[in-house]
Amino acid sequence: MNITIEEIEGGVRVRVAEPRLDAALAIRFKDRLREVVGGHGPLILLDLSDVGFMDSSGLGAILAIRRALPPGQRIELAGLTPNVDRVFRLTRMDMIFTIHGSAAAAAETEAGA
């Protein structure tokens, strides 16, 4: 599982450097992210700009992480590719998550808050 973690203002950016987030990776992804989110600030920015495909298992893993967050912590998404964006729109999860066009746009939004 290729994930990079970078401290950002207000939290951490987690970049998923995998072409697919599907059933083959979903459990490892969820376990790895649960390790990461515990020791960081209130914002977990999940950068999916390298993920070209995501199935329901990948979406379920992201939802499970969101549900497991402690009070005061939030997960936001950035850099959704067209196929991944389609999954979020078709399942109406775009109404649940804050989605930024890119990690840089998310940083600008956070800095202005």
Q: Does the structure show a pLDDT above 80 at 105?
A: no
Percent of the chain exceeding pLDDT 90 equals 66
Residue 79 to residue 23: CA distance in whole angstroms = 21
User: For residue range 44-86, what is the model confidence (pLDDT) as tens digits?
Assistant: 999 999 999 999 999 999 999 999 888 889 999 999 999 999 9
Greater confidence (109 vs 69) lies with: 69
SS3 41: coil
Q: Which domains does the chain have, with CATH numbers?
A: 3-112 (3.30.750.24)
pTM of the model: 0.88
Contacts of 71 (CB under 8 A, 6+ apart): none
DSSP structure class, residue 92: T
Residue 63 contacts residue 34 (beta carbons within 8 Å): no
Distance CA(89)–CA(25), nearest Å, equals: 22
Q: Is the dihedral of CA 30, 98, 106, 9 positive or negative?
A: negative
Confidence tier at 14 by pLDDT (50, 70, 90): very high
| Interatomic CA distance for residues 105 and 64, integer angstroms | 25
* C-alpha–C-alpha distance, residues 108 and 106, integer Å: 5
Q: What is the pLDDT of residue 109?
A: 64
The pLDDT value recorded for residue 103 is 78
Supply the mean pLDDT for the chain.
89
Output the six-digit token pair for 11: 């939290």
